[in-house]
Structures are given as C-alpha cells and as structure tokens.
Amino acid sequence: MSQERRYSFEFFPTKTDAGHEKLLATARQLAGYNPDFFSCTYGAGGSTRDRTVNTVLQLESEVKIPAAPHLSCVGDSKADLRGLLQQYQAAGIKRIVALRGDLPSGMGMASGELRHANDLVSFIREETGSHFHIEVAAYPEMHPQARNFEDDLRNFVRKANAGADSAITQYFFNADSYFYFVERVQKMGVNIPIVPGIMPITNYSKLARFSDACGAEIPRWIRKQLEAYGDDSASIQAFGEQVISEMCERLLQGGAPGLHFYTLNQADPSLAIWNNLKLPR
C-alpha cells in the first residue's frame, strides 16, 4: 500500500462462532481501508493455536488482506513450530509476528525447546530462510517481566540481530517513551522500522486492567479525566479519540514508520482515529 509508511490492524481469535463471524465482518470493513496486513494473536502457551490458524487462513483467503499470525515459542516444541511454519508457507502467508509468548496461568517458567523470542526468530530463519517478513515486539515502557530498562533494550537488540525485519510496540500513551526507545536502540546499532502499537480508548475499566497487566502506563492526567467521566461512555470515547488521534499525529510527524491498531475486534474506534488523521486509503 504505502511505500513510506505501513498501517495494520490486529485481531484476537474468538471462542464462539458468533464472535468469529463478527471478527470477519470487522475485517471486511477494515479491508476497505486497504491496510498493509492484519495480524492475529496467539493465546498464552499457544492456547488458541487452532483458532489462530483458522482465522489467519480465512483473513488471507476470504478477506484478501495479507495476514500475519502471531507465533510464540512458550509451550511449543520445534516440531510443533516447524509444522505451523510449513502450513503457513503452503498457504502463502508471508509475515510472522514472532514472540516469546505469555506464560499460561500456573506455568512458572517458560517451557518448550526455545526459551526466548530471539531463539524463535533464529529458528524461523533457519527453517524458512527469507520467506517470512518477521515482526518482533518492542516495549517502549519496558517489558513487565524485564529486570530493568537496560536489560530490556539488550533483549530487543538480540531479537533484531537474530533476523527480525521490523517491530511493533506494545501500546503506550506517551509519545516521548516511543521516541526515546527508538533513539536508544538506534544508538545500539538497530535500524529496523519500529511501528507504534495504538490502543483506542473506549472503556476505562477494561483499559486499566489491560494496562496494569502489560505494563502500559496510563498518564495521570488521562486516568483522572477518564475516572471523572464515570459511566459516561460517550464522553470517554470522545476524549479517548481526541487523545489518541493527537498522539498518533505527533508520532507520524516525528517519523514513526506507520501505525498498528489493536482493534479488540472492533472497527469503529480505530477508523475514527484513521479518519481524523486523514490516512491514505
């Protein structure tokens, strides 16, 4: 689509047929905006593997937008991963989001033959050469399980050096954290595109739970304003749309190579931001 920037949307596989139909309807609506790709998440320990595979194959074959499955190494053997890679290659999938993955509840340490995301990136390269464009995760505000920020920066550099083509960040609400992260890793010799992950604000209580779990900081001024709206969902959405649109505008003006929207399987919140920014179609 765009030569200079790329725009993408992320979905999560659903547990019900009705939810799956809604996901596909959302994808078809977003397809009208000609995104560069759709990504699809992969539950803790590969718990949604089959649903992820099915969703990705449908997005690719029916919705006609390139699909990028998440692939994590927690809980999976090399043989499992090899089988998935072969299945995706056969289906014409060209992009993979390579992650260590979340640990399932009760799993104290990572299991599986590969322990870290950089190991997974290396494995994909060894198995498939340059077939896949490999995305990795970036954490501008530090991975919640990292020992410290410097250690997390080194982890990211290892992933990039293992063969990643580009990165997608965890969502954030402070553009400075993104710019600082990019500046730091560039000084460490990493120059792959790092695309900001964007989370629309539509529900404060859900956002607060998500953010506490994944280490995304909600700035005090945003938190306090959202709290002040109480159950006024219209005001929360209007305020959220304005805040995120302004942040995205600053990110793009500052040189961000695109945007990756965490849709939560809804089209309208992301499209409101897209239209405010007058992004290409």
The residues annotated with a catalytic role in the active site are 10
| Residues forming beta bridges with residue 138, ordered by sequence position | 169
Secondary structure, 3-state, the chain: CCCCCEEEEEECCCCCHHHHHHHHHHHHHHHCCCCCEEEECCCHHHCCHHHHHHHHHHHHHHHCCCEEEEEECCCCCHHHHHHHHHHHHHCCCCEEEEECCCCCCCCCCCCCCCCCHHHHHHHHHHHHCCCCEEEEEECCCCCCCCCCHHHHHHHHHHHHHCCCCEEEEEECCCHHHHHHHHHHHHHCCCCCCEEEEECCCCCHHHHHHHHHHHCCCCCHHHHHHHHHHCCCHHHHHHHHHHHHHHHHHHHHHCCCCEEEEECCCCCHHHHHHHHHHCCCC
